[in-house]
Structure 1
Amino acid sequence: MEKERLSYLQIHPKDNVLVALRDLPKGFEVDFGGQRFALREGIRAKHKFTITALAKDADVLMYGVLVGKMNYAVTEGVVISTENLRHASDDFKLGNRKLAWEKPDVSAFEGRTFNGFHRSNGTVGTANYWLVIPLVFCENRNVLTLKSALEEKLGYQVASKDYSDEVDELIARYQAGASVDQLLAVDLSSAKAGKEKMRLFPNVDGVKFLNHNMGCGGTRLDSDALCGLLAGYITHPNVAGATVLSLGCQHAQASILRDEITKRDAAFDKPLYIFEQQFEGTEQELMQKAIKATFAGLAQANKQTRQPATLDKLCIGLECGGSDGFSGISANPALGYVSDMLVTMGGSVILAEFPELCGVEQELSDRCIDEVTAEKFMHLMKTYNAKAEADGSGFYMNPSPGNIRDGLITDAIKSAGAAKKGGNSPITAVVDYPGVVNTPGLNLLCTPGNDVESTTAEVAAGANVVLFTTGLGTPTGNPIAPVVKLSTNTKMFERMPDIIDINCGTIIDGEETIPETAHRILDYVIQVASGNTKPKAVQLGQDDFIPWRRGVSL
């Protein structure tokens, strides 16, 4: 029997607005908490409407916290919009520790393992990649030349990214005299996708060629942070070794990179080849040495095989992008439950995107394991927001046009929903960018809200799987860590099946509970971590990599 779908929802008992779970027409009768009233206007799904009359400057509460203030008085049954609501959030200060929490039942996962790549430092990778990295943007061309020389011949080129058959079809039509209108009407759905070549090194998941626009010309802080970020990738459990190209004279020196590697892994023993063009001489000499070293490194990496590992070896990065009004009540709480399950089993979880924690600072700081950790979190939040304010772009400007269109009217509304990804467990550590996570439990990592910058940083911190929720649809991936995409609503899942892996809209549809969805997610993660399932971002070769310049990025 099909379950009845709710029309609206109060997220927290303190809330004075409801969320429309489907499109509600003007005049729709609301029966809530002993009140009956008709909607004054149509309310689109994901948007919020008032359940009582609110005066000018009245507080609006969602998720039990302040998310805005009214610009003018409204009656009940009125949609909340950017016209009548402005961002507001509560202040925060050092409070009492609130560390008690109810651990979820994890009996269904007792004894479960995943097959991963065991590293000498005790970490376990969910993949086995070789990296080719430039220390400075001057070497980007040489990195791309290496990619051209190695990728296809070794069998690592992503077949689905080549649209040459579609172009061939259009060329043939044009040469046959097709008009512009006829060209626009051509059906290209039958064009064939390329076939994957057999890999020479079957135990190596790929060679990843990273590019960036940093390393020199900016501040020393930026170049030092870049070295720390790259060191995080080189020491990452999903990486077998790396080839690094350096010009030689840039701020981001090879010696700084080596120091950052040692900070993260004092007994680092992976193959690492660093070549400096100004020392090697000609480009040909540089490239021939880099090709030989990379090939030899791949032969060595290919000797490693997957072996069983317990689930406490998982480090999951939590991310959201293209969020909508359902994010905080479907996909994000489901990730929060996954987070609590993994923490209960001794694993690590990373909650990042500090601009999207605005308004829930008090709750999160109170959940920090001790006062030192709480004070570190509050200092980072205040410093980041002050910098943003000084540049005329505070956290209140975080919501994008797409966020607003789909119900996230203020940053506090967006943040309160985004924070649900972190579940309810105590916060064991707070890490500043571009640091590494080495503490089991829930970790807070200071990153921007920008999807790619934040995902890039989470992986550098040690995330060997990233769970990424989206309500509007985003193709974000990462070069070395599988990024699993979860939709907040069924319509988007059905519209964009090529980039979305898991539908959490089943929660909104009344087909699943949050714990049921969380169990389904963790089952999928285990398959991904074992190499049995490739998420869509991996299939598409979505290798997004953007280092954060330590400035204002929301």
Structure 2
Amino acid sequence: MENSNSTGPVKYLQIHPADNVLVALTDLSQGTMIDFNGNHLTLTGNVAAKHKFALQDLAPGDDITMYGVLVGKASALIEKGGAVTVDNIKHASEDFRLGNRKTEWHQPDVNAYAHKTFMGFHRADGSVGTSNYWLVIPLVFCENRNINVLKEALSAKLGFAKPRGYENEVDSLVQMYQTGKSVEEILNADLQTTPQQQPHKKLFPNIDGIKFLTHELGCGGTRTDSDALCGLLAGYITHPNVAGATVLSLGCQHAQASILQAEIAKRDPHFNKPLVMLEQQQMGTESKLLHEALKQTFAGLMQANKEQRQPAPLSKLCIGLECGGSDGFSGISANPALGYLSDMLVALGGSVILAEFPELCGVEQEMSDRCVDEPTALQFMNLMRTYNARAEADGSGFYANPSPGNIKDGLITDAIKSAGAAKKGGTSPVVDVLDYPEKVTRPGLNLLCTPGSDVESTTAEVASGANVVLFTTGLGTPTGNPVAPVVKIATNTKLFNRMPDIIDINCGTIIEGQETIPQAAERILNYVIDVASGYIQPKAVQLGQDDFIPWKRGVSL
């Protein structure tokens, strides 16, 4: 990354020497004089922070380059010093083909971490959990109500409920209404947030919680969707953060218990966790089903409570790399910091998962060339082409991926967004390419085919084995997961200060020149070790942000 601000705060940045646009690091006004490596230009209009401006005149059809790759073409004249906007750029990316293997990488010095450990839950299959949860899940949406009945019966009594503390505020509103207050008086009332009530003491101290997952799948869709659902649920049941599970089935749905059991065996042939599987149509009344579920679940919890944290090497970490609510700083602060951390973990023998395939559009050549062998590269290329073709068939290719929030904050084409998002994957070779919902089996960098939708992608990464998820955001996203801690990392300091209730770590320090990318990566890794050991609860865990959305293999970007 280069800039020519010889003194004072850095105001603009060239990400790669081949780029023909600069990124504004702060709001720049019309008429600002720019002297970049002897190239003198004057801004022809205001350029907001995170947005880009041209280093040269760009005619319609000219290539626009960022991160050293094609990210768009000019759709109208962009004068030298002019802002790049949705009105003068259109998405474009280079085609890709099977190339030569480029598996050389910059392996960071990790001697300081070589003998570090985290305190985790050791499972029979050799994996290590960063938490210890019990799952209660339905095989089909018909059982969602019964799942919620079990939640009401178990959570508070066993000390796992998270009081929200807003009940007193509702009491105040009711009292105001009953005493004749007007709509205006209620809207202008100053409701004081009351302290959260202390929950019941946990009956099972070695269990982090019971997680009740509901979904809208299992029947009425395609068999492919129900099979994928069974694979996803098997990923959660066999997950190192899960001690055991209760599964409720109706009986007649596509997602059969036998399919789930086969998917469990595929992931763990010697599976020996406590597993309760009950079928309502076989048992008869709902009362019989729920009584049996309560008894067997309680017995399983007694077994799960025997698990205790023990030291584990950092090679037992599997980190999911995710972003959501991205902005124009994501690709130059938080995402490169995760990329450096990714390389550190790979060097330590751990695993990382880079997903969100619509956000690898434009960097396919680099990622396929980094695959360890040609079959792995071909698998990646085939998944990318098939996914994009299905999206285009439904009238929405990868070019439609950026959200209104992304665009407002500088990510105005999918290729710009993708080039920055890919930085989370660092520089190490790609050891495996997985199709949803396959499981990680190899240490190193794994690519997992998921949508760019952050909740669907996070849900999938955890099913594939991520025992911690690192989630970068530039706009503020509360996404969490039921069983894996999700660490939220801000790309800019303004966001970190504005939304401290959902953000854990600030990488705006990189933009402000307070620390380097390697320094930020080490800071994040130290935080991860504390999270993995149970010493720190990320904000998403504290808030009970248990987002769980299976990917229906139609089009979701």
Shorter-chain TM-score: what band? over 0.9
Q: Which amino acid aligns with 2:209?
A: G
Instruction: State the alpha-carbon separation in 2 of the partners of residues 99 and 248 from structure 1.
Output: 49
Question: Do residues 496 (structure 1) and 487 (structure 2) align?
Answer: no
Provide the secondary structure at the position in 2 that maps to 1:532: coil
Question: Do residues 449 (structure 1) and 452 (structure 2) align?
Answer: yes
Q: Which amino acid aligns with 1:16?
A: N
Shift of 1:551: 1.0
Instruction: State the alpha-carbon separation in 2 of the partners of residues 163 and 66 from structure 1.
Output: 50
Q: Which amino acid aligns with 1:313?
A: K
Seq. identity, %:
70
Shift of 1:29: 1.0
Match of 1:434 among 399, 420, 437: 437
Provide the secondary structure at the position in 1 that maps to 2:84: coil
Residue number in structure 1 paired with 2:398? 395
Match of 1:474 among 473, 477, 488: 477
Residue number in structure 2 paired with 1:547? 550
Question: Do residues 62 (structure 1) and 85 (structure 2) align?
Answer: no
Residue number in structure 2 paired with 1:72? 76
Provide the secondary structure at the position in 2 that maps to 1:285: helix
Instruction: State the alpha-carbon separation in 1 of the partners of residues 296 and 382 from structure 2.
Output: 44
**Length-normalised TM-score, structure 1:** 0.98
Unaligned runs of 5+ in 1: none
Shift of 1:172: 2.4
Shift of 1:311: 0.1
Which segments of structure 1 move beyond 4 Å, counting only runs of 4 or more?
none
Deviations 1:292-342 (A, max 9, x none): 011010010000100000000000000000000000000000000110000
What aligned pairs does 1:114-513 form with structure 2 within 5 A after superposition? Answer: 114-159=118-163, 161-513=164-516
Q: Which amino acid aligns with 2:307?
A: Q
* Kept in 2: contact 1:144–1:209 (CA 8 A): yes
Q: How many correspondences in the alignment?
A: 551
Instruction: State the alpha-carbon separation in 1 of the partners of residues 193 and 240 from structure 2.
Output: 40
Instruction: State the alpha-carbon separation in 2 of the partners of residues 194 and 343 from structure 1.
Output: 43
Residue number in structure 2 paired with 1:53? 57
Instruction: State the alpha-carbon separation in 2 of the partners of residues 489 and 195 from structure 1.
Output: 34
Shift of 1:162: 4.3
Shift of 1:347: 0.1
Shift of 1:524: 0.4
Question: Do residues 530 (structure 1) and 533 (structure 2) align?
Answer: yes
* Kept in 1: contact 2:11–2:25 (CA 8 A): yes
Residue number in structure 1 paired with 2:93? 89
Shift of 1:38: 1.2
Instruction: State the alpha-carbon separation in 2 of the partners of residues 314 and 428 from structure 1.
Output: 16
Provide the secondary structure at the position in 1 that maps to 2:412: coil
**Length-normalised TM-score, structure 2:** 0.98
Shift of 1:173: 2.7
* Kept in 1: contact 2:455–2:549 (CA 8 A): yes
Shift of 1:111: 1.0
Shift of 1:188: 2.2
Provide the secondary structure at the position in 1 that maps to 2:35: strand
Provide the secondary structure at the position in 2 that maps to 1:342: helix
Shift of 1:4: 4.1
Provide the secondary structure at the position in 2 that maps to 1:472: coil
Unaligned runs of 5+ in 2: 1-6
Deviations 1:52-85 (A, max 9, x none): 1111100000000000000122211111111000
Deviations 1:223-260 (A, max 9, x none): 00000000000000000000000001111000000000
* Kept in 2: contact 1:165–1:192 (CA 8 A): no
Shift of 1:120: 0.5
Shift of 1:181: 2.3
Shift of 1:170: 1.8
Q: RMSD of the alignment, in Å?
A: 0.9
Instruction: State the alpha-carbon separation in 1 of the partners of residues 436 and 475 from structure 2.
Output: 28
Deviations 1:279-301 (A, max 9, x none): 11111110000000110100100
Instruction: State the alpha-carbon separation in 1 of the partners of residues 51 and 191 from structure 2.
Output: 38
Q: Which amino acid aligns with 2:269?
A: A
